[in-house]
Structure 1
Amino acid sequence: MRLFLIPISTRRALIYARPLRKDIAKELSMLDRVTTKAAQQWAKWEEAESGWKKQLVTWGNKVQQRIPFEEWGLKSIPSLKSQQKVDKEHGSKKIDLLFPGNAVHVEKIPSLLHKIATERQEFHKSKMRWSLGTAPLTAPFALIPVIPNIPFFYLVYRGWSHWRALNGSRHLEYLVDKKLLNPISLSGLEQLYSKRTSSALDNTPINTPAAEMIEDIEQSEERVLLKMSDAKELANILDAPELALEAERAIVQVGEQLEAQKAQKKAQQSNSDEKKGS
């Protein structure tokens, strides 16, 4: 397993795990088989041109886009137990963590990852219990002919998703606490972030030394560092094709959140001005 730390904005980052070839189990677990089967069925429904299948897929894809990118990132990290099954040395050796050394202080990586690992654990735990506990209550929907019990499958999926994120967060916390991470600044990432930081921050030239660039990032207000086109470049640099979708999702979500915050501040300022004028 190899970890990637991808700064999305000057304040938020995506953590993502990519399995190495030797990490891939020869035999799929029951959960993996069920998940694969469900993915294949979903793919078939995506081919439908109309009807409830098409509507379901359209709705489902929108729902998945709303799932926080932090959850997707944690879900990419396997549980500690499952990783130890495919790699007997896991837990006794360090794991490589690739990151841009001109966008993140290497000394601050442990605290940053600890925050990412722990800040949503209780949320995922409570949501997992609620989703899986509520799913049986949707049994009456199964009586409807032709259409599958969509509420049941949705709640089970969300419960499973929170379970995966919870296990991933605990695994990440374990790696941080045991000091099993080996941070490696990748030159390809540094080159990308030099360009993007210079573009996002007005007074930061592209050739700014790494230490100064990090300081500029930390002292600036929150801004998105990456463009949508960078998602595929990140995937190429890190040799992780599946990372492109996760990076795109994170860029969109952070961008929308920052725009919403700006609109809220503007509205508050407008209300404040109106009160002063009255």
Structure 2
Amino acid sequence: MRARLVVFPVKGRNWCFSRSIDPSPEEIASAHAHSTLKDLWKKISSSSNSSAQNVELLIDYASNKMNKAWTGLEKAPEGTFKNKLHGLGLMLLSRIKPSEIFLKSISKEVTRVEITYPSSLNGRLVRRRLRHIATRGASIHRTCFYASVTLLPLSSALAVLPLPNIPFFWLLFRSYSNWRALKGSEKLLQLVSDCSYADNSVVPNAEGSKPESEESKHKFHNSQVSLWVLQPSKELEELHNKHADENDLNDSGISEICKNFSLNTKDVSKFR
């Protein structure tokens, strides 16, 4: 399955890294799989599964349950306790770094990435920045995952109180979120790294511009599979130049780029 990644500067040296909002049939099916404990147990008890696959199944099941619980809080009437919990959750979620959101969007179903960026940028630099965010993300989220899991038993002691154990559920969510960001980092690094079995190249953009000659040096000819494709975009370059003021992209520019390239405006704005 192919995913489109959009990369462009937003403020000075700060770049935005975002995935187009286009969930695939595979991801939709995965999100709805094993909705009951019975289905989960049947899958786990299968002799063909490895321990790593069983861990993934458990995490997917817990993720689906958390998403359903969050949806219930979101639909709670105004002024109720559940509605206040939802507001607290939004405040905590707003503190999550945009790079974590981006890395979580690189799911295990992704097998190829199409990297769209302004045509004025150097393709090698774009791919190098992607490798950097993947490498750094793997280190950070591995540490944060172990820290969150370590604190879970301590926060569970608060269950004796007559109030919802918010610290426990927050640490549980952070454990899941860091695990997904870690796996997304590893997947992205695998996809954008030089591989002896991949034929990687720049492709012409929609306006018919020619591939950059410097990127043609990265081709590997012993396979027809391309794990990553650089896609310089003249449209993205024009939108960026139209709304950029001294390398700072304004709100209207972010909104227009997000609309044209199917990005989440809130997530992109956080990169500033």
Is this contact kept in 2: 1:15–1:74, CA < 8 A?
no
Residue 16 of structure 1: aligned partner? 18
Determine the C-alpha separation between the residues in 2 that align with 1:16 and 1:127: 22
Equivalent residue, structure 2, for 1:247: 268
**1:194-209 equivalence runs, <5 A:** 194-197=241-244, 200-201=245-246
Asked whether 1:160 is paired with 2:151, we answer no
Contact 2:6–2:117 (CA under 8 A) maintained in structure 1:
yes
Shift in CA distance, 226/33, structure 1 to aligned 2, threshold 3 Å: farther
Q: Does 1:37 align with 2:55?
A: no
Q: How far apart, in 2, do the equivalents of 1:64 and 1:173 lie?
A: 25
User: 2:251 is aligned with what amino acid?
Assistant: M
User: What residue identity is the alignment partner of 2:87?
Assistant: T
Matching of residue 181 in structure 1 with residue 181 in structure 2: no
| Residue 122 of structure 2 is aligned to residue 100 of structure 1 | no
CA distance in 2, matches of 1:173, 1:191: 29
**Quick check: 1:226 aligned with 2:249?**
yes
Q: Distance in 2 between matches of 1:36 and 1:232?
A: 30
* 1:149 equivalent among 165, 175, 178: 165
Q: 1:132, 1:176 → 2: CA distance?
A: 30
Instruction: Let me know the Cα RMSD of the aligned residues.
Output: 2.3
Shift of 1:132: 1.3
Gap change, CA 1:249 and 1:26, over 3 Å in 2:
same
Q: Which has the higher strand share?
A: 2
With normalisation by structure 1, the TM-score equals 0.68
TM-score normalised according to structure 2 size = 0.69
Match of 1:64 among 89, 93, 108: 93
Aligned residue-pair number: 212
C-alpha distance 38-249 of structure 1, shift in aligned 2 (>3 A)? same
Between 175-184 and 163-172, report the one with greater CA deviation. 175-184
* Mapped partners of 1:187, 1:32: distance in 2: 39
Counterpart position of 1:6: 8
1:162 shift after superposition:
1.0
Q: Which segment drifts farther, 42-51 or 119-128?
A: 42-51
Runs of 4+ in 1 over 6 A off after TM superposition: none
Contact between 1:132 and 1:159, CA under 8 Å: does it hold in 2?
Answer: yes
